[in-house]
Amino acid sequence: MPATKGLEGVVATTSGISSIIDGVLTYKGYDIDDLADHASFEEVVYLLWNDDLPNQQQLDAFKKELAGNAAVPAEVFEQIKAFPLNTIHPMAVLRTAVSTLGVFDSEADVMDETANRRKAIRLQAQIATVVAGFARIRDGKDPVAPRTDLGYAANFLYMLFDREPNETEVEAFNKALVLHADHELNASTFTARVCVATLSDVYSGIVAAIGALKGPLHGGANEQVMKMLTEIGSVENVPSYLENAFANKEKIMGFGHRVYKNGDPRAKHLKEMSRQLTERSGEKKWYDMSIKINEIVTNEKGLLPNVDFYSASVYHSLGISHDLFTPIFAVSRMSGWLAHILEQYSNNRLIRPRAEYVGPDKRAYVSIQDR
Ligand code: ACO
Q: Tell the residue nearest (CA) to atom 29 of ligand 1.
A: 258
Q: Tell the residue nearest (CA) to atom 8 of ligand 1.
A: 256
Q: Which amino acids are annotated catalytic?
A: 257, 308
Show the ligand 1 pocket: residues with CB < 6 angstroms.
6, 217-219, 221, 251-258, 301, 303, 306-308
State the Cα–Cα distance between residues 210 and 326, nearest whole angstrom.
Answer: 10
State the Cα–Cα distance between residues 17 and 23, nearest whole angstrom.
Answer: 16
Q: Tell the residue nearest (CA) to atom 2 of ligand 1.
A: 251
Strand locations in 204-335 (E): none
Pairing of strands 18-19, 26-27: antiparallel
State the Cα–Cα distance between residues 360 and 342, nearest whole angstrom.
Answer: 41
Residue by residue, DSSP assigns 99-114 as: HHHHHT-TTTT--SHH
* Res 2: pLDDT: 87
CA-only gyration radius of the chain, Å: 21
Helix (H) or strand (E) holding 137: helix 113-138
Tell me, in angstroms, the distance from the centre of ligand 1 to residue 152's CA: 33
DSSP letter, residue 1: -
Length reported for the chain = 371
CA distances from 244 to 144, 222, 294 (A): 44, 21, 16
Which residues, in sequence order, are bridge partners of residue 325? none
Pocket-testing residue among 25, 217, 222, ligand 1, by greatest number of atoms within 8 A of Cβ: 217
Within a 10 A sphere around the Cβ of 219, how many other Cβ atoms? 28
Q: pLDDT tens digits for 215-255? A: 999 999 999 999 999 999 999 999 999 999 999 999 999 99
The ligand 1 atom nearest the CA atom of 251: 1
Of 80, 83, 124, nearest to 100 (Cα)? 80
Positive or negative CA dihedral for 177, 181, 186, 190? Answer: positive
Tell me, in angstroms, the distance from the centre of ligand 1 to residue 140's CA: 38
Pocket-testing residue among 242, 257, 325, ligand 1, by greatest number of atoms within 8 A of Cβ: 257
Q: Which strands sit side by side in the sheet containing 26-27, from one edge to the other?
A: 18-19, 26-27, 30-31
Tell me, in angstroms, the distance from the centre of ligand 1 to residue 251's CA: 7
CA distances from 145 to 153, 155, 219, 358 (A): 15, 10, 27, 54
Average pLDDT, the chain: 97
Q: Tell the residue nearest (CA) to atom 35 of ligand 1.
A: 257
Residue 333 zone, left/alpha/beta (φ > 0; ψ -120 to 50; rest): alpha
DSSP letter, residue 336: H
State the Cα–Cα distance between residues 194 and 229, nearest whole angstrom.
Answer: 35
Answer yes or no: are the C-beta atoms of 183 and 25 closer than 8 Å. yes
State the Cα–Cα distance between residues 153 and 142, nearest whole angstrom.
Answer: 20
Tell me, in angstroms, the distance from the centre of ligand 1 to residue 299's CA: 16
Q: pLDDT tens digits for 55-71? A: 999 999 999 999 999 99
For residue 135, which amino acid is it?
A
Domains, the chain, ordered by start: 17-215+323-346 (1.10.580.10), 221-317 (1.10.230.10)
Within a 10 A sphere around the Cβ of 57, how many other Cβ atoms? 8
Provide the whole-model pTM: 0.97
Answer yes or no: are the C-beta atoms of 246 and 256 closer than 8 Å. no
* Res 100: pLDDT: 98
Ranges of the chain whose pLDDT falls below 70: none
State the Cα–Cα distance between residues 146 and 78, nearest whole angstrom.
Answer: 17
Which residues, in sequence order, are bridge partners of residue 19? 26
Tell me, in angstroms, the distance from the centre of ligand 1 to residue 339's CA: 27
